[in-house]
Structure 1
Amino acid sequence: MTSRSVGRTPCVRAPKIRQSPDEHTPSETPGDTVTQPNRTAIGFDEGSNGAAHWFGELTRRRSAGPISAQHKVLPRSLSPETLAVHAGTYEDPITGSVGTPIFQTSTFLLDDASYGAFSDGALRDVPIYTRYGNPSQWSVQEKIAALEGAESALVTSSGMSAIANTIYALTNSGSHIISAYDVYGGTYNLLREDMPSAGREVTFVDPTDIEAIRSAVRPETQVLFFEALTNPLLKAPAIRQIAGIAAAANALLVVDNTFLTPVLMQPLALGADVVIHSATKYLAGHSDLTAGAAAGRRKFLDRIWAQTLRFGGTLEPLSCFLLERGIKTLPLRIEKQNDNAREIAKFLASHERVAEVYHPALGGDRYADLEHADYRGYGGMVSFEVNGGDAAALAFMRNLTVPYVATSLGGVESLVSMPSNTSHSSLTTRQMSLIGINPGLVRFSAGIENARDLIGDLRHALDALDEEGVR
């Protein structure tokens, strides 16, 4: 039996990597180590002649992961609640720690497995240098991959880092990208301002207009980039149909799943190739870190990882620990936030000081073509327009006492802001109008507070506008 006393037990270095590209159940005994050079242990399957093949050869099959023998790998068929708690946990063979330790180090001892990784192009699969990979990163990456039903995942220093790394990695100069007018403001700016100078042309469309998306495809189209629910108007693109368009065009579909999370939608199961998250939001869930994530097939994630190395957007170990800890309660938080947002949307739709409410649960012509079977819920976001424009919306937010008036979203606390002066402030008035961001638009991120308390506070803040003479 393995001793769990803390003493001069030999440290575990160069953990063995799981060999099968499709295997999602543990096969090694915790504590197994690589004592001799073992190319299979760093992410390679052997060829017919027993020799490992170079990274770029077609005969090479990529393993899932990266992951070590100490990281808990569970079948993707388990429930989100179970995967959120257990997937990816580093089961420390020395201390028996129940929680994943923080590997707060920038570098690791070199050995034969490290040198083999350098020579064979498998730096992602062996702990060498934290910018390349770190067991803290591997833990949270495996948890995200498990929840999204993916072979591999990558965490980065911010959501925008994940988006930029992915777009640059999956396109090249002379290529074409299709996206939506109403994506997150930072994404829109990246696509509109940076992609042309990098030799990529971008076409923006209405994400709910399937024929417009189909018509935008060109021979040089490489990536279609859409959000599972758009920010801030909560439009619901038909991801399954868009995936069919991408496949027919031999292009890749990248879906930003920040608003829904894998608890409410798994875009990969609908045909997407890569899923992106601003993990700062719902995945982390406590407004205490910034992080990004990407998940998908290993061959795509290897390219995104290589781009991340060049851009330098690595997520440091302490933030990995916080992110993994936050995800453990993701399904519970999402259920409460989903319920709160639905009740808030219903209330707002009935209030005379509210001109328009944007939320899929309300139905209507805006969501007539919604593929409800692809959703397990619609998340914790509600957007609405206050009668009286921006001045009235600002007065309304000043009257609130429970939610915080702050940018961002997805935390346990409710947050409220106006996209026109926060997330989309870089857009011109014309651009905002084109998207549909009208005067008085407010974005409400429902937390896990009591719904009655939130609705009571919203009612008070709206009713006070009449008392203050705000029109």
Structure 2
Amino acid sequence: MHSGVYKDPVTGAVGTPIFQTSTFLLDELSYAAFERGATRDVPIYSRYGNPSQWAVQEKVAALEGAQSAVVTSSGMSAIAGTVYALTNNGSHIITAYDVYGGTYNLMREDMPSAGREVSFVDATDLSAIAAAIRPETQLMFFESLTNPLLKAPPLREIAALARQHNVLLVVDNTLLSPVNLRPLDLGADVVLHSATKYLNGHSDLTAGVVAGSRKYADRIWAQILRFGGTLESFSCFLLERGMKTLVPRMCAHNKNATALARFLADHQKVRAVYHPSLADYPYRQLKDDVLDGYGGMVAFEVEGGDEDALKFLDRVRVPCAATSLGGVESLVSMPANTSHCSLTTSQRAAIGINGGLIRYSAGIENTEDLIADTARALDSL
């Protein structure tokens, strides 16, 4: 909560002020930074760095147990900047075929044209990952928990495999948050988030963060600088404010999603439920790795297929039918007509997205209210 807060020497403000400025007065420290090529930590120009950004970055580094962090203008800015910064022309990347859609498109469309080859694998199959490694492999990119089916790759084993082959491991930890999992502790080299989601938690900004060693953070910062993906000061203020309540919010998200999953598992109108707390969850190693819970996401299939799934979205009253996740309010959506609509029915089925699948991002509302609302909507189908 207190990490990174700027101590204002003039006013003594208990919160970080908003440094709403594009540029700063030059002095001897500024000129020395230019000479050394070390402009990241000196107030010169807000695209390079700003106390509002530094407050966020110190807080993120503390949460993830990292030496350093970089804040960006969106989750995709963090992902793209990281992948470009840590790979070269002629290199090879390994990632999962069911990563977030924006990441998948970056890997499939942009990386080949930038001279990077990409192999797509099942992130939960360690042997498939090992078989994909080549001499030119530089990077593995996986998610700590996938969207929407909540698959959990064996990160400890993947990290060991990456080290064995001198390959960097980057983990997108958006769906679990550092409250529930710290990938750097499991052996990852870099961890990143769409801070739009849990870290901010109020559905009122877009942002991204990356954390790791100072060496990697500096390389990623330089790439973000060239891409122009800097987060402006007011959004930094909102993000730092949001992170101050991350722990209590995640406790509520964890509790609500787990309670919903257990209720749904026993409902006659529900064909399947995907949540790590359930006894039939196949990725058992996650239970040993998590710290406090599994986040606010639960996915389930209704018996009536997509037609009944649409009716459910229309009949619930507490959650909003909207994309995104991680805000204080609950959200529901169907991957088939949102995040995975570009795939054919057979392509969706190949990665486990069947008809009637609903993604429920549990907010921090009263647990009993969420269950009662869900029960009423399901019973009406």
With normalisation by structure 1, the TM-score equals 0.80
Structure 1 residues 110 and 363: alpha-carbon distance in aligned structure 2, compared to 1, 3 A threshold: same
Within 2, Cα distance between the matches of 1:248 and 1:211? Answer: 14
User: Structure 2 counterpart of 1:93, which letter?
Assistant: P
Q: 1:335-414 counterparts in 2 under 5 A? A: 335-364=251-280, 366-367=282-283, 369-376=284-291, 377-414=293-330
Is residue 244 of structure 1 aligned with residue 139 of structure 2? no
Q: Which runs of 5+ in 2 are unaligned?
A: none
How far 1:370 sits from its partner (Å)?
A: 2.1
- Asked whether the equivalents of residues 184 and 424 of structure 1 are also in contact (C-alpha less than 8 Å), the reply is no
How far 1:385 sits from its partner (Å)?
A: 0.9
Within 2, Cα distance between the matches of 1:134 and 1:431? Answer: 45
Name the counterpart of 2:379. 463
Is residue 255 of structure 1 aligned with residue 171 of structure 2? yes
Name the counterpart of 1:301. 217
Within 2, Cα distance between the matches of 1:155 and 1:267? Answer: 18
Within 2, Cα distance between the matches of 1:193 and 1:268? Answer: 29
Name the counterpart of 2:88. 172
Deviations 1:263-287 (A, max 9, x none): 0111001100000100000000000
Runs of 4+ in structure 1 over 6 Å off: none
Within 1, Cα distance between the matches of 2:226 and 2:341? Answer: 29
Within 1, Cα distance between the matches of 2:121 and 2:204? Answer: 34
How far 1:365 sits from its partner (Å)?
A: 5.5
How far 1:173 sits from its partner (Å)?
A: 1.1
Q: 1:244-283 counterparts in 2 under 5 A? A: 244-283=160-199
Is residue 419 of structure 1 aligned with residue 335 of structure 2? yes
Within 2, Cα distance between the matches of 1:319 and 1:189? Answer: 26
Q: Which runs of 5+ in 1 are unaligned?
A: 1-84, 466-471
- Asked whether the equivalents of residues 274 and 281 of structure 2 are also in contact (C-alpha less than 8 Å), the reply is no
Q: Comparing 202-211 with 318-327, which one deviates more in the overlay?
A: 202-211
Within 1, Cα distance between the matches of 2:4 and 2:104? Answer: 33
User: Structure 1 counterpart of 2:80, which letter?
Assistant: A
Name the counterpart of 1:323. 239
User: Structure 2 counterpart of 1:387, which letter?
Assistant: E
- Asked whether the equivalents of residues 257 and 277 of structure 1 are also in contact (C-alpha less than 8 Å), the reply is yes
- Asked whether the equivalents of residues 176 and 220 of structure 1 are also in contact (C-alpha less than 8 Å), the reply is yes
How far 1:201 sits from its partner (Å)?
A: 0.9
How far 1:120 sits from its partner (Å)?
A: 0.7
How far 1:430 sits from its partner (Å)?
A: 3.7
Within 2, Cα distance between the matches of 1:112 and 1:230? Answer: 48
Name the counterpart of 1:26. none
**CA RMSD, Structure 1 to Structure 2 (Å):** 1.0
How far 1:352 sits from its partner (Å)?
A: 1.3
**3-state SS of paired residue (2:240):** helix
How far 1:431 sits from its partner (Å)?
A: 3.0
Q: Which has the higher contact order (CA 8 A, sep 6+)?
A: 2
Q: How many residues align?
A: 380
Larger Rg: 1
- Asked whether the equivalents of residues 182 and 232 of structure 1 are also in contact (C-alpha less than 8 Å), the reply is no
User: Structure 2 counterpart of 1:410, which letter?
Assistant: G
Name the counterpart of 2:227. 311
How far 1:424 sits from its partner (Å)?
A: 2.3
How far 1:194 sits from its partner (Å)?
A: 1.0
**3-state SS of paired residue (1:147):** helix
Within 1, Cα distance between the matches of 2:366 and 2:20? Answer: 38
Of all paired residues, the percent bearing the same amino acid is 70
Within 2, Cα distance between the matches of 1:419 and 1:115? Answer: 52
Name the counterpart of 2:207. 291
Name the counterpart of 2:365. 449
Name the counterpart of 2:41. 125
